[in-house]
Structures are given as C-alpha cells and as structure tokens.
Amino acid sequence: MSTFKPTAALLTLSLGAIASAPALADDIHYNQISLRAEASQEVPRDLMIVTLYTEAQNTDAAKLAAEITTSMNKAIGQAKSVKEVTLRQGNRNSYPIYDNKTQKITGWRERAELRLESTDFAALSKLTGDLMQTLKMGSMQFTVANATRKTSEDALLKDAVNAFKARAQLATDALGGKGYKIVNLNLNTNGYPQPYMRSAMMMKAGAPAMDSAPTPEVEAGTSEVSMSADGVIEVQMQ
C-alpha cells in the first residue's frame, strides 16, 4: 500500500501534462502573413439636396415672425404638391439688431430655411426655379442616396473578399505552401465624401427672362467608393 500511492500520484501528473500539450500547441501559430486588398467602383451622386431661405427684418418682432411664417407656409404648400420631392424644414433663427452707438435694440432680423431632397433631378430643379420667385438659394448639393450606398457596399464586399482571397493564394504560392486559412479579416468602406456643393446657380441655355421661373441646370457626377479587406492568413507549409 505504501508504494502504490506515489505511483498513482505520478501517473496522474503525467496524464495531466500530456493532456495540456495540445492546448499549448494551439497557442502557437506559424507562417502568419498580414495582407490587404481593395475593390472600388464609381457610384453616381443620385440624391439632389436644395436649401432655400427667406430673410427679412422689422422693428416689430411679432410682425416679422408673421411675415416669415406666411412666406414659408406658401413655399411649403407649393413644395408638397410635387410628390417626387421630400420636404424637410431647415433652421429658423431670429436675432436682434443693435444701434452702433447706444447698443439698444432697434429691430429684428429673422431667417427661415426650407430643405428639399429628391432623386428626380428634373422635378426638384423645376420646383427650385418656381420657389426662387419668392425665396433665395442657400445651397445646392449632390450625394449618394442611402439605397444606392447599400447596393454598392454589398457589391464591393464580395469584390473585396475575392480580391483578398486571390492575394492570399498568391502569397501562399510564393512561399511554397500547400494551402492557407484566414485567421481574421476586417472590411472597411471608404470614399463616401461630403456632399458635392454647387457654388453657384447655372441656368439652362436659352432660359426665359428673370421675371419667369428659370430652372437650375444640374450635373451631379460620381464618387469613387472603395472597400478594403485587411486580414491575417496562416500558410500551411509542405
């Protein structure tokens, strides 16, 4: 009995050491390579955004507010009649006007904005020209619509993964490996810039006189969008 117990303890210890060996081996990785691949495409800026505004001043703040409200309500009603256009009210600000010498309030100035969005450039251009009879142009910009963005990202994801796999195979062949496995892979989309701003209004050639409603000429262009695939592969050697 006295010699049996130590032998059992030694056997148990040996088995424990053997059982831990695979775990230690799993923590060691060989022939790992970091790779990067990228896919890109031109995406149309298919969303037009126009900001119009009205601005006025008056010594009576209440009368000024009523004037601005009347002007905006008329424009909103006109915009709502064009179903292809999405209407969003923008900022509205009112601030006092001071006398330079006495620093007393001598009047008020107020500005209200109307933001219009559409993928139908013709419809929004026509509406913009009509509304400019009473409102002023704040800005015109073009960007990528959400639906178009999602479609392009889905396509780029497949292209980026395929490009990464092709580069991984190239690296494996160069090292003389018989295969590889992907350890990790990160995908990142790049290239959706800030909306393209139009600095000035361009009117169609031969547009009618200014007492009628000229229609802005638009050219949105495209944006180059890319998706990168950054990852690590483990090459299996011969």
In tens, the pLDDT along 4-23 reads 444 333 333 333 333 444 44
- Name residue 162's amino acid: N
pLDDT at 219 over 50: yes
pLDDT at 215: 55
Place 197 in a pLDDT band, splitting at 50, 70 and 90. Answer: low
User: Between these two residues, 217 and 24, which has the higher pLDDT value?
Assistant: 217
Most distant pair of Cα atoms in the chain: their distance: 116
* Gap between the Cα atoms of 237 and 59, Å rounded: 84
Task: Give Cα 26 distance to the centre of its chain.
Answer: 41
3-state secondary structure of 213: coil
Share of the chain above pLDDT 70, in %: 75
pLDDT at 206 over 80: no
pLDDT at 202 over 50: no
pTM of the model: 0.67
* Cα atoms in the 13 Å half-sphere on the side-chain side of 165: 6
pLDDT digits (tens, 9 = 90+) for 71-119: 999 999 999 999 999 998 789 999 999 988 888 999 999 999 999 999 9
Provide the token pair at 194: 């800030």
DSSP state of 145: -
pLDDT at 121: 93
Which DSSP helix (H) or strand (E) runs through 105?
A: strand 105-118
Residues 6+ apart with CB under 8 A from 82: 123, 124, 126, 127
Residue with tokens 């009112």: 94
| Closest alpha carbon to 120 in 223, 50, 53 | 50
* Gap between the Cα atoms of 84 and 123, Å rounded: 7
* Gap between the Cα atoms of 157 and 165, Å rounded: 12
User: Between these two residues, 26 and 111, which has the higher pLDDT value?
Assistant: 111
User: Between these two residues, 42 and 219, which has the higher pLDDT value?
Assistant: 42
Mean pLDDT calculated for residue range 117-127: 94
Please give the CATH architecture assigned to the domain spanning 47-145. 2-Layer Sandwich (3.30)
Mean pLDDT calculated for residue range 216-227: 76
The per-residue b/e assignment along 172-209, b for 16 or more CB within 10 angstroms, e otherwise, is beeeebeebeeeebeeeeebbeebbebeeeeeeeeeee
* Contact indicator for 108, 101 with CB cutoff of 8 Å: no
* Gap between the Cα atoms of 189 and 192, Å rounded: 8
The overall average pLDDT reported for the chain is 81
Mean pLDDT calculated for residue range 37-48: 92
So where are the chain's domains? 47-145
